[in-house]
Structure 1
Amino acid sequence: MIQAIGLTSAPRGELPSAVDDLSFEAQPGKVTVLLGGAAAGKTTALRLMLQLERGRGVALFRGRPLHRIPNPTREIGVLLGDTPADPSRTARTHLRMLSAAAGVPVTRADDVLELVGLSGLADQRLGEFSRGMDRRLGLASALIGDPHTLLLDEPGDGVTRREAAWLHGLLRGYAAQGGAVLVTSRDAKEAARIADRVVTLAEGRLVADQEAADFARTRLRPRVAVRSPQADRLATLLVDESQRADHAADPVVGRAIEVVRESGSRLAVYGSSCAAVGEAAFRHGILVHQLADEVGDTSPVTPLHRADGRSPGPTADVPSATSPPDDADPAPAPGPASAPAPAPAPMVRVLQAARAAIAPKGTDTVSDTLTLPIIGATVPAARPARSSTPVVEELVIPRLPAPGPAWPLRYELRRSLSDRTGLFVTVASVLVSLGLALLLARLGDAPVSRVLTGWPRQLPFPPAALGAGLLGALSFGQEFRYPALAPERGTVPRRLALLVAKLLVSGASALALGVCVLTADEAGVRFLFGPESVTSITEWPVLAAGWTGLLIACAWAGVLAAGVFRSTAMGLAAVLAVPVVVLPLVQRMAAEPAARSLAGLPGRLGSSALYQWPSGIDQAVSVAMRLATQPVGSAMALSLTALVCAYALTMFRGWAR
């Protein structure tokens, strides 16, 4: 159940609030539609419920506010606007990344792709998807965690009627399994097709909260649906008699008749009644196959079950019912008399229910014609016959295990490995460093350490350090550019776990970049200038530790800065600010006389210790002290400290809001 209580958005200057004191409920097992115009406040209401918008009020999901739900993806499926996905990724890669974030098995990605009819396009780039495919992918993203609740913002906007018919059937099937569905729409006819309850908004306020039958009867334009092999002749006669009635005031036919030709044999007559149309057809000897009062649009539409061109067979392409996935409900213990037949897998049950909502002839429906379901219409609608038993008692939402502690690490690994921009940055950094290393080796006046790192004295930072910073900035910058996890705020520990995963993966990427740079530079210099051009380095521990620390620190600075400023460009700018702004300040401070020299500090620490240190400890402490006293090391430490404090302040302020 979804409960919205007193939702009110923050003031917008002199303009009124987009949502003002909105309260409603969305029951499980039913489809609830938020209906309103372009500026009615529907999207703002959803964003307030998801804590993505500042304001007041409470939104409860099965009795809990969002910040009390430890894993929102497993409770709430969200689709706001277009699918926030990187166009360079494939559909399967995107959903596998989200499956790691939701803490569900990786096979769930293939399950939801099959459910939405995209399994044949799993390896296609998202940038090549059509509008209908994008909406299917967005619905698959919302269903990845098998949530109990769906919040969809105009999911049928911009799609064809066949796509919309499939979508409506899927939502009906999902609700039939006990889920709560909340959908926004601007089309009253669409709301009547799919809704069990319609909540109408205007200028951010609640106008009406009605059952779908009452809404269809009071808000939609009634008409007479006629099907006849002589549709053209009947339409002409009705229009002619209507025009004559304007002069003669004929009470039988009526006035202001509007006839709309919908298909080869189907007419929609507005401003008349079944009795008037039937009498006119009888007087002129016209055969009529269908004559019924309707509300809205019930013209036949064949749902487009799949977008990949494959056959939509009943269950041929879905996982076998006899071998449910690992996260399916455990089968009940067989009774002493006979063992019951195994229940279908969760995705199979949802697919069967969805197809039953728009089932073809021969299924157990109220009507044997394939039409869009219309709530409250007087004609039969192609919808499964509802039993008197409440749907909530048939809840079959899978019980999945709680996500383990490795979920953020798996998510970040899949995100980084599927990011083509990161690969381009790595290759570019290695090539630039190799070019500078060859140039320094050719000049012959630079130390071997600067040759191997590709770091001329004229540059405050080596290219590899900037590349590592950009990799770190992309780690969080891509999250804000393609906010796949935006609706899932979660608790503070959950966001901290994601931050730790990004720091670990970006640090490992920076370390791998450093190794590639050193290897490529040494190999290139040896190949062009001979083995004698690269002499042995006496202080290799200092070089290795300094090189590793510099790259990892730059990557972490990029991660933190991008998280604070919500931009990849700002994350890279923060890394560039270290050598340009912070480093000169540290050098100026280091030029002043120190209170006490740090020379000989490792020896003094060793002599004051209670136990004799191992021989390697003195060397490690000496290397660490030498790096810490370098201006670059001090500048990086100061920058990281400031960014950690800024990120913590930003995160906790956002959570408190």
Structure 2
Amino acid sequence: MIQAFGLTSNPRKELPPAVDDVSFEARAGRVTALLGASGAGKTTALRLMLELQHGRGLTYFRGRPLHRIAHPSREVGVLLGDVPGHPARTVRGHLRMLCAAAGVPVRRADEVLESLGLESLRDERLGTLSRGMDRRLGLACALVPDPHTLVFDDPAGALSVQDARRLHGALRAHAAQGGTVLFSTADPKEAARSADHVVTLERGRVVADQEATEFSRTRLRPRVAVRSPHAVRLAALVAKEARTARRSVEVVPEGGNRLAVYGSTCADIGETAFRHGILVHQLADEVGDMGAGAGAVPAARHRERRETDGDRAQGAGTPGALRSSPAGSSSPPSAVSQPSPGDATPPTGPRVSAADGGTDTDVSACGTANRKTPGPRQAPAPADAPAARGPAAPDAVPHRAPRPFSALTLRAARSRDGAVALPPPISVRSAPSPLRPLRYELRRALGVGTGFVTGAAVLLVSAVTAVVLARVGHTPQARLLAAWPRELPLPPAALGAGLLGALAFGDEFRHPALAADRGTVPRRMGLLTAKLLVSAATALLLGVLTVGCDAEVLRLFYGSELAGLPADWPELSAGWLGLVVGCAWSGVLAAGVFRSTTAGLAAVVAVPVAVVPLVQKVWEGPSVRTAAGFPMRVREVLLTQWPFGGERYVAEMLRLIAQPVGGAMTLWLTALLCVYLLMTLRNRVR
């Protein structure tokens, strides 16, 4: 159950808040629609509920706010906009990464893909998916942790009629299993057809909170959809007979051979056409205009409906026959776009109306829309019968020419009650595992080729730089093996390690994978520790490979005299590995603080450019006392002998930290870590 109390967004410059005191409930076992035109505040309300945007108000998910839930992704499955993920990652790899993040078995990814009929998307890249495919994958991502609540923002916004019906069938099946479903839409027909409860927003405020049946009765208008080659003549006759009978009838031409008649019935229009010998291709009851607060249907669905209308027109009955939909047709009426009263777009097209006592024809402007004309609309099912609201059977969907992604639609798997089959429930242990963030970070880092490409580029640049430095001469052996010219602030390996460290957190903000876990990226110490461990291991591997590759290249070009190790190689090795690891950690922490890969890399470069000179100036400045002999005094304080001569390594590490470069790196990392912890505490307190 979702309970929203007084959701209010922060006021904008000279504008009222996008959401102002919005309160509603979405009960478990039911589908709730948040209806409103574009700009009504639907997306802002959802973001306030999920604590992705600053504002006022409270939202409880089964009695707890989101920041008080230990693992929000297991409680709330979210899809806002496109599927958040790196465009180079495969669909299966993305789902397996989410499995590691949620702490569920990896096989869950294959179960979700198989259940939703998306096996053919297994090896597709996220960047190659169309918006319709992206939406279907979003449902799979939301179902991976088996959450109790699903929150979707316009889930069927770019889908065809058939795919949208199947997607809503999956949401209906989740609600039938006891879950809570909340989705936003701008289409009142979609809300009335797919939801049990409709909350209508207008200008950031709740203007209606109704059951779906009550919403259909009070905010939607019944009409008769007519298709005839003599539509203009039939419209005039219907209006004339309405004036004669002193009945209020409105006839709206919709372009071509289609009419929408409000205030009449199929029987009356059929009798009028029969008496005057007018051929009628289709005659069906529909639900038309809505009240305030609903917007236009996306253009993608208009095109889909035009294609469907064309296919149905080709399969129409023989000429001369009055064709009407069978009374028992199970095909639901399509969503229709009607302008709201506040719409500033000038409507087009004539409208013929016959009012009580009217003697002339009123021709004015009204909004035009492409509408399907299916069979008569069935009465909405009661709220306690969720199966009746499920998607229509496959044989009720008209045949359509194959689309490029027709094989990737949701599988029409049905249970006995007609609901879409969902993945089986899973049991997740509530105890946190220290390896869970580490598994996630490993799958995130190895799921794309960025790290491998960066490593290869670092090795190539480092080898070329080492050959050039050896050719020029006057370069110490240590700098030659590290390919570190005196003119550059950092060697290629250190820059590469810093870049990979910055990408570790920067990609989380550019391509978030944990959107439901407290903001775009959860500020958890477990996740930070995992990123530091993986980045340190990557930096160590890169540093060792760089020195080894440079030594082999120098041996190949100039012989073994330039590839030998210096006499003090243990101390130099410790300093070298400490440098690359420090750069990697600087990139991780800076990207986490500033939420940018570029800022993370800039922080890495700032250490030798700005921090080291400042520390050297302070260290070498006039002072009464110095810290000379600090490592030896610490060694004397320790007193104990470490196994395997470990006290030597501790003393060497302290000697490196006491140097200006080591001290600068240590101070910089400490400052970044403190800022990160302060931001984490601030978010948790808020």
TM-score (norm 2): 0.77
**CA, structure 1 residues 572+511, in 2 after alignment: closer, same or farther (shift >3 Å)?**
same
1:462 aligns with 2:456: no
Q: How does 1:481-492 map to 2 (within 5 A)?
A: 481-489=510-518
- SS for the counterpart of 1:532 is coil
Is the contact between residue 26 and residue 32 of structure 2 (CA under 8 Å) also seen in structure 1? yes
Work out the CA distance in 2 between the residues paired with 1:382 and 1:179.
21
Q: How does 1:261-300 map to 2 (within 5 A)?
A: 269-280=261-272, 283=275, 293-296=285-288
Is the contact between residue 466 and residue 483 of structure 2 (CA under 8 Å) also seen in structure 1? yes
**CA, structure 1 residues 83+495, in 2 after alignment: closer, same or farther (shift >3 Å)?**
same
**How much does 1:24 deviate?**
0.3
**How much does 1:12 deviate?**
1.8
Work out the CA distance in 1 between the residues paired with 2:51 and 2:65.
10
- SS for the counterpart of 1:221 is strand
Aligned twin of 1:224: 224
Aligned twin of 2:78: 78
Work out the CA distance in 1 between the residues paired with 2:663 and 2:234.
89
**CA, structure 1 residues 385+593, in 2 after alignment: closer, same or farther (shift >3 Å)?**
closer
1:620 aligns with 2:649: yes
- SS for the counterpart of 2:159 is coil
**CA, structure 1 residues 242+373, in 2 after alignment: closer, same or farther (shift >3 Å)?**
closer
Work out the CA distance in 1 between the residues paired with 2:51 and 2:524.
15
Q: Which of 599, 613, 618 is equivalent to 1:589?
A: 618
User: Which amino acid letter does the alignment assign opposite residue 250 of structure 2?
Assistant: A
**How much does 1:84 deviate?**
1.7
**How much does 1:611 deviate?**
4.7
Cα deviation 1:550-573 (Å, max 9, x = unaligned): 111111111110011110000111
Q: Which of 228, 238, 256 is equivalent to 1:242?
A: 238
1:540 aligns with 2:536: no
1:401 aligns with 2:397: no
User: Which amino acid letter does the alignment assign opposite residue 153 of structure 1?
Assistant: D
Aligned twin of 2:414: none
Q: Which of 304, 310, 330 is equivalent to 1:369?
A: 330
**CA, structure 1 residues 210+53, in 2 after alignment: closer, same or farther (shift >3 Å)?**
same
Aligned twin of 1:116: 116
**CA, structure 1 residues 469+612, in 2 after alignment: closer, same or farther (shift >3 Å)?**
closer
Aligned twin of 1:48: 48
Is the contact between residue 369 and residue 382 of structure 1 (CA under 8 Å) also seen in structure 2? no
Aligned twin of 2:66: 66
User: Which amino acid letter does the alignment assign opposite residue 369 of structure 1?
Assistant: S
User: Which amino acid letter does the alignment assign opposite residue 102 of structure 1?
Assistant: A
Work out the CA distance in 1 between the residues paired with 2:544 and 2:77.
42
Alignment identity in percent? 57
Q: How does 1:336-415 map to 2 (within 5 A)?
A: 369-371=330-332, 379-380=377-378, 387=385, 398-402=426-430, 404-415=433-444
Work out the CA distance in 2 between the residues paired with 1:570 and 1:121.
35
Work out the CA distance in 1 between the residues paired with 2:253 and 2:463.
76
Aligned twin of 1:576: 605
Is the contact between residue 193 and residue 373 of structure 1 (CA under 8 Å) also seen in structure 2? no
**CA, structure 1 residues 370+480, in 2 after alignment: closer, same or farther (shift >3 Å)?**
same
Work out the CA distance in 2 between the residues paired with 1:199 and 1:384.
17
User: Which amino acid letter does the alignment assign opposite residue 517 of structure 1?
Assistant: T
* More deviation, 281-290/141-150: 281-290
User: Which amino acid letter does the alignment assign opposite residue 176 of structure 1?
Assistant: A
Aligned twin of 1:642: 671
Is the contact between residue 286 and residue 333 of structure 2 (CA under 8 Å) also seen in structure 1? no
Q: How does 1:513-524 map to 2 (within 5 A)?
A: 513-524=542-553
Is the contact between residue 40 and residue 201 of structure 1 (CA under 8 Å) also seen in structure 2? yes
**CA, structure 1 residues 630+234, in 2 after alignment: closer, same or farther (shift >3 Å)?**
same
Aligned twin of 1:89: 89
User: Which amino acid letter does the alignment assign opposite residue 251 of structure 1?
Assistant: A
**CA, structure 1 residues 636+379, in 2 after alignment: closer, same or farther (shift >3 Å)?**
same
Aligned twin of 2:158: 158
1:19 aligns with 2:19: yes
Is the contact between residue 508 and residue 521 of structure 2 (CA under 8 Å) also seen in structure 1? no
Aligned twin of 2:30: 30
- SS for the counterpart of 1:57 is strand
Work out the CA distance in 2 between the residues paired with 1:556 and 1:464.
14
**CA, structure 1 residues 619+444, in 2 after alignment: closer, same or farther (shift >3 Å)?**
farther
Work out the CA distance in 2 between the residues paired with 1:622 and 1:432.
34
Work out the CA distance in 2 between the residues paired with 1:388 and 1:194.
10
Aligned twin of 2:245: 251
User: Which amino acid letter does the alignment assign opposite residue 8 of structure 1?
Assistant: T
Aligned twin of 1:327: none
Work out the CA distance in 2 between the residues paired with 1:13 and 1:653.
26
* More deviation, 462-471/156-165: 156-165
Work out the CA distance in 2 between the residues paired with 1:87 and 1:601.
51
Q: How does 1:420-499 map to 2 (within 5 A)?
A: 420-489=449-518, 495-499=524-528
Is the contact between residue 196 and residue 383 of structure 2 (CA under 8 Å) also seen in structure 1? no
User: Which amino acid letter does the alignment assign opposite residue 571 of structure 1?
Assistant: G
Cα deviation 1:148-185 (Å, max 9, x = unaligned): 11111111113222322222222222222221111111
Work out the CA distance in 1 between the residues paired with 2:190 and 2:213.
13
**How much does 1:103 deviate?**
1.1
- SS for the counterpart of 1:533 is coil
Aligned twin of 2:685: 656
- SS for the counterpart of 2:680 is helix
User: Which amino acid letter does the alignment assign opposite residue 463 of structure 1?
Assistant: P
Cα deviation 1:385-425 (Å, max 9, x = unaligned): 9659999xx99854333353211111111111123222222
Work out the CA distance in 1 between the residues paired with 2:14 and 2:261.
47
Work out the CA distance in 1 between the residues paired with 2:644 and 2:167.
70
**CA, structure 1 residues 370+29, in 2 after alignment: closer, same or farther (shift >3 Å)?**
same
**How much does 1:14 deviate?**
2.8
User: Which amino acid letter does the alignment assign opposite residue 276 of structure 1?
Assistant: D
* More deviation, 277-286/144-153: 277-286
**How much does 1:607 deviate?**
5.1
Q: How many residues align?
A: 579
**How much does 1:270 deviate?**
3.4
Cα deviation 1:51-109 (Å, max 9, x = unaligned): 11111111011111101111111110101112222111111111111111111111222
Cα deviation 1:208-253 (Å, max 9, x = unaligned): 0011111111212311257xxxx6378576324125447xx22188
**How much does 1:25 deviate?**
0.4
**CA, structure 1 residues 367+510, in 2 after alignment: closer, same or farther (shift >3 Å)?**
farther
**How much does 1:143 deviate?**
1.4
- SS for the counterpart of 2:286 is strand
Is the contact between residue 8 and residue 17 of structure 1 (CA under 8 Å) also seen in structure 2? yes
Work out the CA distance in 1 between the residues paired with 2:522 and 2:153.
29
User: Which amino acid letter does the alignment assign opposite residue 238 of structure 1?
Assistant: L
Q: Which of 498, 504, 508 is equivalent to 2:533?
A: 504
User: Which amino acid letter does the alignment assign opposite residue 483 of structure 2?
Assistant: G
* More deviation, 425-434/253-262: 253-262
**CA, structure 1 residues 167+387, in 2 after alignment: closer, same or farther (shift >3 Å)?**
closer
**CA, structure 1 residues 367+512, in 2 after alignment: closer, same or farther (shift >3 Å)?**
farther
User: Which amino acid letter does the alignment assign opposite residue 170 of structure 2?
Assistant: L
Gaps of 5+ in 1: 298-303, 305-365
The two structures, once aligned, show a CA RMSD in angstroms of 3.4
**CA, structure 1 residues 408+588, in 2 after alignment: closer, same or farther (shift >3 Å)?**
same
Is the contact between residue 76 and residue 149 of structure 2 (CA under 8 Å) also seen in structure 1? yes
- SS for the counterpart of 1:558 is helix
- SS for the counterpart of 2:512 is coil
Work out the CA distance in 2 between the residues paired with 1:389 and 1:169.
9
**CA, structure 1 residues 600+491, in 2 after alignment: closer, same or farther (shift >3 Å)?**
same
- SS for the counterpart of 1:256 is strand
Work out the CA distance in 1 between the residues paired with 2:601 and 2:522.
26
**CA, structure 1 residues 262+503, in 2 after alignment: closer, same or farther (shift >3 Å)?**
farther
- SS for the counterpart of 2:528 is helix
Is the contact between residue 586 and residue 631 of structure 1 (CA under 8 Å) also seen in structure 2? yes
Is the contact between residue 635 and residue 651 of structure 2 (CA under 8 Å) also seen in structure 1? no
Is the contact between residue 509 and residue 521 of structure 2 (CA under 8 Å) also seen in structure 1? no
